[in-house]
Chain A
Amino acid sequence: MTDSILQMRDITKTFPGVKALQDVNLDVRRGEIHAICGENGAGKSTLMKVLSGVYSHGSYTGQILLDGQEVRFSSINDSEEQGVVIIHQELALVPHLSVAENMFLGNERRGRLGLIDWRQTNADAAELMARVGLRENPVTKIGHLGVGKQQLVEIAKALSKDVRLLILDEPTAALNDTDSEHLLGLLRQLNASGVTCIMISHKLGEIASIADRTTILRDGRTVETLDMSGPDTTQDRIIRGMVGRDLEHRYPERTPQVGEELFRVEGWTVDHPSQTGRRVVEDASFTVRAGEVVGIAGLMGAGRTELAMSLFGRSWGHYVSGSTYLHGQQVRMRTVDEAIDAGLAYATEDRKYYGLNLIDDVRHNTSAAALDKVSRAGWVNGLEELKVANDFRRSLNTKTPSVLSPVGKLSGGNQQKVVLAKWLMTEPEVLILDEPTRGIDVGAKFEIYTIINRMVAEGKGVLVISSELPELLGICDRIYTLASGRITGELPRAEATQERLMALMTMEKETAR
């Protein structure tokens, strides 16, 4: 029996200069978990925004049927009333408000006189939190929770709205394996209790494990819908649908040609910026050689980003001690421009906050860290800048109507490529990549790995921070593990396995080193 809870028919949505969706069809059965995948910019998020009323009826063409009835949402409130709730790719929580306040934001629990009934609010919040397995105090500030828990808060928030159809846009992109597992378990549980789910994800393993069916989008069109229990539905099959061709390897081949030591860090120690005396990175020492890809593995909160940012011109925390060497010479990098001059580059994991000026265009964002390369005596050569931006757009295969489009309008993965372009343009000796493939599709990941390989082939060094152990194992020559701010181990690729890395990453403080 095929009982559709949702049918989207011939959806077409255009933005100025872009046809984001063209005659897209989607059919979701009641009670299933339906995955949506496709390359960056394929239109996945846009389709879900159409469905949830973010783009109101009239701004697109086509029909949406919910339980066989046509619906015309003109806002999110309309869709939520019908039990359709979306959790966006970028979380929408207010860091300074408590968990409970966030949960009922815009939907406050009121008591007499229209005042907020705090007791009711916190009690309801606690109940919903219990349903998603979150054991925190409802008055905890959201900012104090990790991303994994914030994601759970979003789901709890959705539950407070009597959700029937839950849409999750890349819910696990920012989560580590443990948190992802937990989230997927929760989804299964919700699904069993009758909530239909639509989930966008670039993680094919996770799609294979959780989805009943998968719809693949490519360039704004539906390619096909696959039954995941079908005999020939393999990950390779999905990839072929997404990129339109077979992708033989997930990781490009590379014969390592490791040379001299390029970058060395000794005894790097950093304190928390506001909580005095709290060590975040302690006595970290490591090296990167020319032509080498070095990985840093660590759990969320291990201090990976903090280590990288503090190295990069001390842009995080209080420097306590430690020294850095390039080509055997000690270099001081006290500010970001000193670090850039020395030949360091750091591509952030948080592109919205640290990476991009979203209201400006692709061109200006590309040149933001290397304006001196396209200017003379303080004057920017606009033509040269345009040329360079276009070159990067082509070599990284960034999908944008033009380099003059605002970066904020690009899909998540393509924004990531702009961040990468910005740092490649500085022509660094050592490139630090913090979660470089977060939210990026398989095809683009391959492209990014290829770029990494190209860099090391030129004798540069690359330091990769990643939560995805298979990725580190796939591309690195050597991997360091970080736990509670200390380096707890170092494994060459030949000796590294997920299990051994995991064991080192979860090492307790006392036993470390």
Chain B
Amino acid sequence: MTTPSTLDAKDTVTQKEEPPASTMNIRELLTHNLRQSGILVAFVAIVALFSLLHPNFLSPGNITNIVLQYSYILILAIGMIIVIIGGHIDLSVGSLVALTGATSAVLVVQNGMPWYVGALAALGVGILAGMWQGFWVAYVGIPAFIVTLAGMLIFRGLTFLVLDNISLSPFGGTYYEIANGFQNGLFGGRGVDVFTLVIFAIGVAGYAVNSWRGRRAAIRYKQEVVGLPLFVLKIVLVAAVVMWFAYQLATSRGLPNVLILLAFLVLIYGLVTQRTVFGRNVYAIGGNLHAAQLSGVKVKKVNFLIFVNMGLLAAVAGIVYSSRMNGAQPGAGNMFELDAIAACFIGGAAVTGGVGRVTGAIIGGLIMAVMSNGMQLMGIDQSIQQVVKGMVLLLAVAFDVYNKRRAGN
């Protein structure tokens, strides 16, 4: 895939009369983007806290577990953040996860069709459901809250119908491998999977090169950048953390399939939101609908696509979830929508739309994931877990509001 050379530093214009580029020190770097660094610091703190409280928390096995356990929430959060940036909400994704999983279970488990037929059918159902909701929101003009509240009931009801009120299992075979399988052993290694390490090393290198080019372009454009030592330190730190994570995976069972899927989705949707006309239109609509309309943005089309995309990603999450559960239940995916929405808001999205990032939503989702997993390990009661998660959501948004008020002054 060739991405446009957005941050290519070569063909820049020379600029006169501009102040020289200045550099930021560590304090400025952290306060410059307080929201983003705040959430990262919170994430690190939570991880540190649990690793102190429970020795097994950072064990290879458990890290792999966290990835597997919450992948579907993260997938939903990617779609949800786009919905929220556009100024909408989607309450139906939990039900849609159930419906798409059920569809594929009926085909694969009940009728013995191949795994990909089930997966494709699930994707088809997801897209259809998205088109249905997109139609009502974009072309009829009914608020997404209402449309998707209806969708939540409708899709749940359809799930019961499709499954005839019973659970279907097991999928087994390739379908089961989607969420439970690993890639390893390709390059051998004794107890440590070399393949996993190589893949991660390539990723880290790509990140470093991209950051470097971005920094150079920023300098050409006389923007404030972090000083060189600090910049290098940041890259090294990221690389160290990521490679440590890779090592943990490599000494466990290798590279989980869902992690590959997730990385792929994050990359694609990161690009879609930041570098495509579609992504830009979503921000424009959420930021000021009237201005977007008067700028010639095809608002209806964009809103429609936002929901089609959400349907598609809900189906992907549905496939992953049903695969992980190795079956479909009528009650599957209950309350997933709330976890996905919470992930977005913890990750810095604004209720009023126009603000948010895919990476933010992912970190928000990871915070939820790490907390749930940590509390489970420690045997904390379900009810307490709910309370804690609720508090975290509230505090994260309160922190946002407080920040905004301070920035205004």
Contact = CB atoms under 8 A, between A and B. Distances in A.
B221 A340 contact: no
Interface stretch (B3-11, B125-133, B199-207): B3-11
B280 A364 contact: yes
Contact of B291 (A340, A357, A371, A402): A357
Contacts of A335: 296, 298
19 contacts: A17-B224, A313-B296, A353-B291, A354-B291, A355-B291, A356-B288, A359-B287, A360-B283, A368-B291, A369-B296, A378-B276, A378-B278, A379-B3, A380-B276, A383-B7, A387-B13, A402-B222, A402-B223, A422-B295
B298 A59 contact: no
A368 to B, nearest CB: 4
Interface string A360-404: 100010001101100110111111001100110010000000101
A353 B283 contact: no
Interface in A307-353: 309, 312-313, 315, 335-337, 339-340, 346, 348, 353
A382 B275 contact: yes
B7 A382 contact: yes
Given A364-B280, A378-B277, A390-B15, A383 B6 contact: yes
A360 B278 CA distance: 16
Given A354-B294, A369-B296, A376-B4, 5 more contacts: A309-B294, A360-B283, A381-B5, A383-B7, A394-B17
Given A357-B283, A360-B287, A369-B296, A381 B12 contact: no
Given A354-B290, A364-B280, A368-B284, A383 B12 contact: yes
Contacts of A59: 409
B221 A380 contact: no
B5 A383 contact: yes
Interface residues of B, number: 39
Nearest to A376: B4
Given A369-B295, A369-B296, A387-B12, A381 B288 contact: no
Given A56-B409, A357-B288, A379 B4 contact: yes
B230 to A, nearest CB: 19
Contacts of A380: 4, 6, 275-277, 280
A357 B287 contact: yes
B294 A346 contact: yes
Nearest to B407: A16
Contacts of A309: 294
Contacts of B11: 383
- A interface: dominant SS: mixed
B109 interface: no
Contacts of A65: none
Interface in B324-358: 350, 354-355
Nearest to A336: B296
A37 to B, nearest CB: 26
A422 B292 CA distance: 12
Interface string B7-43: 1100111010100000000000000000000000000
B183 interface: no
Chain A interface size band reads 35 or more
Interface in A194-223: none
A358 interface: yes
A364 B283 contact: yes
Contacts of A368: 280, 284, 291-292, 295, 297
B293 to A, nearest CB: 7
Nearest to B217: A383
Interface string B292-309: 111111100000000000
A348 B294 contact: yes
A446 interface: no
Nearest to A365: B291
Nearest to A360: B287
Contacts of A355: 291, 294
Interface string A95-110: 0000000000000000
A51 to B, nearest CB: 14
Contacts of B288: 353, 356-358
A59 B17 CA distance: 30
Interface in B387-408: none
B377 to A, nearest CB: 40
Interface string B224-236: 1000000000000
Residue of A56, A315, A354, A357 contacting most chain B CB atoms (<10 Å): A357
A359 B293 contact: no
